[in-house]
Chains A and B, each alone.
Chain A
Amino acid sequence: MRGSLRHRWFTPYAFIAPAMLVLGVFFLWAMVQVVWFSFTRYTPFQPPTFIGLANYQQLLSSERFWSCMLNSAVYLLVTPALIFLSLSAAMIVESGIRAGKWLRLLLFLPVVTPTIVAAVGWRLVLNPDQGLVNTVLTGVGLPRIAWLTDYPWTLISAMLVTLWKGFGFYMMVFLAGLLAVPRELREAAAIDGAGRWGVFRLVVLPSIWPVITLVFIISSISALKVFDELFVTVKGVPIEHQTAVPLIYEEAFGRGNFGLASAMGITLFVIILAFSLVNLRISRANQANQGAA
């Protein structure tokens, strides 16, 4: 009985069927629907009616859409900052300093803090009248900054929340990558006369390059999809001062224009896909060059 079951060709498919079902219903089917909606005029109380490419024409000529896309591009600046900070933190933790475990725990705490809580906390810190940051700024003779209302400070405020919230997670990813670098390689490089910087540049960096690529792609996608931080931290600012996903939310749930919002979502999806593929290709080329060297 067990032998015959093992040899039935559909056995593996039966095992993955539940996962396929969930993915099919909640991802694949949802995506197919969004693609269909993007070609329709669709409001919550009226059924979708096909209008061809009208939604895409509208968004491509929309100043508001491109303004938000530009902000999304600016938001990508958070990615190199995240990589630099989290890699630095991972190296400090990995260096074997005393209280390294506590430091790791401390740096990881923002990751488990709900984004809404983090954003509300940052709103207090960045409050223009009573917030800690402006108190410090005015204390050293600098002018107050309207972090929560004035562009581009609003974007920077949301980026701060993303940075604070995300870097602990990426630190752990880098830590895993660093711990996987063979100690012998570092020791051999050191014996050959490489200094700390030399060991890092010639041994550690090439070894963790795939991890850097991974973090770059994941954090870039997250940055392009950012919503919570903007929605809570700088709620109420003009939509032109926000990024693409808040605009999609505004179009769908603010105006009830599901068709146009779907077209925006599809456009953003294509942009993220293209961006990720280019990233991946460049990273692989870099990795190949380093391997050849």
Chain B
Amino acid sequence: MRAFDRLTQPAIAAVLALLATLGGVAACSRSDGPTQGSGSASRVELQFWTLALAPFEDYIRERIAAFEAENPGVKVVWSDVPYEAIDRKLMAAAAAGRAPDLVNMADRTFARFVAMDAMVDLKPLLPGDVSATYLSGALRLPSLGDRLLGLPWYLTTQTVLLNEPVLTAGGLTRQSLGRDWKSLQRQALDFHQRTGNYLFSIPLGFEADLPFMMLADGVVPFTEDRSGPQPRLRANLLDPAVIAFLEGWVATFRSGAMPAEAVTGGNSHQPQLYKERRLALINTGPNFLKQIQRDSPTVFQGTQVEPAITGSLNRAHIAVMVLSVTNQSRNPELAARLAWFMTSAQSQLLLCRRAVVLPSVTAALDDPLFAFPSAEPLSDPAAEAERRIQYARALSARALRDAVAFTPSLEAWPDLRRAFEDGFKRVLLDGRDLRVTLQDIQTTWDGILALVPGTMDAVPRPAAVPARQPPPSGQPSTQRSTPASTTGQGSPA
């Protein structure tokens, strides 16, 4: 009996432990029940995630309250997620079966989750005509073929923020400063050697802007293969125009005229270096102007705002914030209604009054909020700061008319972009040959496009527009009219 006990006791204990474990796992597992709030049987709960909008908590809460008042029985649970954490948190939540109903994403994240088939087609769920409501340039990004996988929310286009004291210390003036990237590349090394500061920087490796800048310059790294029954998209990275475009950036970086952070630092390195007075200019969203004003008032004082450096198409890139309904939502119609509400002209104008961002609805753009301020500088420092911010907002809104989201609407785009970034980083950091690397990337791209095909329609190739006349400003501004554009992160904070 004792021998039996010795044998069976651990076995029974192991079974008990296993049962307890399974019980625990079952208790912790996802629930497939309806998303009803705990308070009332008829109360529906919507999970709504925004991206880095915590500084605008009052605005979000006020809008949610308005939505709940319009939709009795609906409770919106709002969470704000930091910019860097959104991908990780959304993936973790989705893996646990708890993705939010409605989520706010920047274009890069949006493309990544589209590739994972994470979004619901909103077309049959929306109460109004989408194409008549939103700017076509912004609507392009969430439209994949016949599907609409999100609604464009607020937007940013670039402006140039110029630190005049840093520029002058490097022997340049606003008048002598180059007006396109090629001229700036030529001035960059001399500027750096004079002061140790950098004339400009853009993300070249991590979060690389180059694919957008290429398209904004009319250089298309894709071609269409019409040899088969269906036209197929293929890589065209060995095109002389693509090589020439990239060679300019490689040479500038290798000369030491750009900071190392350009390869590894992503978008955030630009405002950071600018605030440290190590960069003379950044081509970024005007939303960073308020950040600079808050973090470095002295730098803000010396900052001038000028029109963005665009590509040869004279079209700025739009950084689009998207609102999407995830395919784990149990109330997609309500979530779509919330997205429609948050992107309405009224809601967007309220946000634009608080942050230097632009609305994605055409009706809102005619608001006096986006008019140029008086050209006369004001004596009161606070009023002058506000005038300058207003000028940046108006400049950005003016660029919006011709702007395009240069992110290709391809499901394979996140993988293509990553392959490009990985390869191009090796060119810049390891000294690998550009042509050999482009050949490798081309092979990778073709492999990806064979698995996840796309068409040329998904690649933004808008016609060039004439350069617009200089805006009415309080500054003796220069009009920038030629090549290339960079993206800002788009967050208004």
Q: What is the distance, in angstroms, from B194's C-beta to the closest C-beta of chain A?
A: 15
8 Å CB interface, B19-37 against A: 20-21, 24-25, 28
Task: Compute how far the CA of A76 lies from the CA of B190 in the bound complex, rounded to whole angstroms.
Answer: 43
Binding site for B on A (CB under 8 A): 9-10, 13, 17, 20-21, 24-25, 28-29, 43-46, 128-129, 146, 148-151, 234-241, 252-256, 258
Chain B residues contacting A28 (CB-CB under 8 Å) are 21
B87 at the interface (CB under 8 A from A): yes
Tell me whether A25 and B25 are in contact (CB under 8 A): yes
Docked pose: A14 CA to B91 CA in angstroms:
37
Q: B91 touching A44 by the CB < 8 A rule? A: yes
CA distance A255 to B414 in the complex (A): 8
**Nearest opposing residue in chain A for B91, CB measure:** A44
Q: B16 an interface residue at 8 Å Cβ cutoff?
A: yes
B117 touches A (CB below 8 Å): yes
Most chain A beta carbons < 10 A, residue from B9, B25, B328: B25
Q: List chain B residues, Cβ under 8 A from A234.
A: 264
Nearest Cβ on chain B to A141's Cβ, whole angstroms: 18
A20 and B17 within 8 A (CB):
yes
B378 within 8 A of A: no
Instruction: Contacts A13-B16, A237-B263 known; list 6 others, CB within 8 Å.
Output: A44-B99, A45-B328, A236-B205, A239-B422, A253-B88, A254-B87
Contact partner of B95 (CB less than 8 A), chosen from A9, A21, A44, is A44
Residue of chain B at shortest CB distance from A28 = B21
**Whole-angstrom distance between the alpha carbons of A149 and B24 in the complex?**
45
B266 at the interface (CB under 8 A from A): yes
Query: Considering the chains assembled together, what is the distance between the CA atoms of A25 and B26 in angstroms?
Result: 10
Output the nearest chain B residue to A147 by Cβ-Cβ distance: B260
Known: A45-B113, A129-B196, A258-B95. A238 touches B21 (CB 8 A): no
19 contacts between A and B (CB under 8 A): A9-B9, A10-B12, A17-B20, A20-B17, A20-B20, A24-B18, A24-B24, A29-B25, A44-B92, A44-B95, A45-B117, A45-B326, A149-B429, A234-B264, A236-B265, A236-B266, A237-B263, A240-B426, A256-B91
Q: Contact at B5–A9, with CB atoms within 8 Å?
A: yes
User: Are B20 and A24 in contact, CB atoms less than 8 angstroms apart?
Assistant: yes
Quote the shortest CB–CB distance from B261 to chain A (angstroms): 8
List chain A residues, Cβ under 8 A from B205. Answer: 236, 238
Could you tell me the distance in whole angstroms from the C-beta of B420 to the nearest C-beta in chain A? 12
Q: State the 8 A-B residue pairs at the shortest beta-carbon distance, nearest first.
A: A236-B264, A24-B21, A44-B94, A236-B206, A45-B118, A13-B13, A25-B24, A44-B91
Inter-chain contact B17/A17, CB cutoff 8 Å: yes
Enumerate chain B residues within 8 angstroms of A146, measured Cβ to Cβ.
Answer: 260
List B residues at the A interface (Cβ < 8 Å). Answer: 5, 9, 12-13, 16-18, 20-21, 24-25, 28, 87-88, 90-92, 94-95, 99, 112-113, 115-118, 196, 205-206, 259-260, 263-266, 278, 326-328, 414-415, 418, 422, 425-426, 429-430
Question: How far, in whole Å, are A209 and B447 apart by their CA atoms in the complex?
Answer: 54
Q: How far is the CA of A24 from the CA of B415 in the complex (A)?
A: 37
Q: Which residues of A contact B95 (CB under 8 A)?
A: 44, 258
Determine if A238 and B426 form an interchain contact, defined as CB atoms under 8 angstroms apart: yes
| B330 to A: closest C-beta gap in Å | 14
Q: How far is the CA of A43 from the CA of B328 in the complex (A)?
A: 13
Q: A21 touching B20 by the CB < 8 A rule?
A: yes
Given the complex of chains A and B, what is the CA–CA distance between A21 and B99 in angstroms?
27
Q: A24-B24, A128-B260 are in contact. Are A256 and B112 (CB under 8 A)?
A: yes
Residues from chain B with a CB closer than 8 A to the CB of A128 are 260
- On whether the beta carbons of B116 and A43 are closer than 8 Å, the reply is yes
Chain B nearest CB, measured from A3 CB (Å): 18
Task: Report how far A146 CA is from B254 CA in the complex, Å.
Answer: 13
B94 x A10 contact (CB < 8 A): no
Residues of A within 8 A of B94 (CB): 44-45
**In the complex, are the beta carbons of A21 and B21 less than 8 A apart?**
yes
A290 CB → nearest B CB, Å? 37
Contact B422 A238 (CB under 8 A): yes
Q: How far is the CA of A199 from the CA of B106 in the complex (A)?
A: 65
Please give, as numbers and ranges, the residues of chain A lying within 8 Å of B263 by CB-CB distance. Answer: 149, 236-237
Q: A21-B24, A45-B113, A45-B326 are in contact. Are A253 and B422 (CB under 8 A)?
A: no
- Inter-chain contacts of B18 with A (CB < 8 A): 24
Closest beta carbon of chain A to B450's beta carbon, Å: 16
A45–B426 alpha-carbon span in the complex (Å): 32
The CA of A236 and the CA of B90, in the complex, are separated in Å by: 21
A150 to B422, CA, bound (A): 14
How many Å from the CB of B423 to the closest CB on chain A?
9
From B24, B259, B264, B414, contact of A235 by CB (8 A): B264
A9 neighbours in B (Cβ, 8 Å): 5, 9
Give the chain B neighbours of A24 by CB distance below 8 A. 17-18, 20-21, 24
A29 vs B20: C-alpha distance in the bound complex, in angstroms? 11
Complex contacts, B24 vs chain A, CB 8 Å: 21, 24-25
Please give, as numbers and ranges, the residues of chain A lying within 8 Å of B5 by CB-CB distance.
Answer: 9
Q: Tell me if B88 and A237 are in contact (CB < 8 A).
A: no
Contacts of B265 in A (CB 8 A): 236
Most-contacted residue by chain B among A150, A237, A241, A256 (CB, 10 A): A256
- Complex contacts, A237 vs chain B, CB 8 Å: 263-264, 425, 429
**Partner among B12, B264, B327, B422 whose Cβ is within 8 Å of the Cβ of A45:** B327
Which of A10, A21, A149, A234 has its CB near the most chain B CB atoms (within 10 A)?
A: A149
In the assembled complex, the Cα of A256 lies from the Cα of B415 at a distance in Å of: 11
A13 to B11, CA, bound (A): 11
Most buried by B among A17, A236, A239: A236
The complex places the Cα of A17 from the Cα of B429 at a distance, in Å, of 54
State in angstroms the CA–CA spacing of A234 and B21 once bound together: 40
CA distance A1 to B373 in the complex (A): 87
Contact residues in A for B415 (Cβ distance below 8 Å): 255
In the complex, chain B residues whose CB is within 8 Å of the CB of A25 = 21, 24-25, 28
CB distance from A227 to the nearest CB of B (A): 13
Chain A residues within an 8 Å CB radius of B112: 256
Q: Which of A17, A240, A255 has the most CB of B within 10 A?
A: A255
A55 vs B13: C-alpha distance when bound (angstroms): 36
Cβ-defined contact, A44 with B429, below 8 A: no
Q: Which residues of the other chain, A, contact B429 by a CB distance below 8 angstroms? A: 149-151, 237-238, 241
Check B21–A29 contact: CB distance below 8 A: yes
Q: Are B259 and A129 in contact (CB under 8 A)?
A: yes
Please measure, in the bound complex, the distance between the C-alpha atom of A68 and the C-alpha atom of B20, giving whole angstroms: 39
Q: Is the CB of A44 within 8 A of B116?
A: yes
Closest B residue by C-beta to A238: B425
Q: Is the CB of A151 within 8 A of B116?
A: no
With CB as the reference atom, state the residue of chain A lying closest to B431.
A150
Q: Which chain A residue shows the least CB distance to B9?
A: A9
Chain A: which residue is nearest B198 at the CB level?
A: A129
User: Which of B21, B265, B426: most chain A CB closer than 10 A?
Assistant: B21
CB pair A46 B21 closer than 8 Å: no
A25 to B17, CA, bound (A): 10
Could you tell me the distance in whole angstroms from the C-beta of A152 to the nearest C-beta in chain B? Answer: 11
Q: How far is the CA of A173 from the CA of B196 in the complex (A)?
A: 46
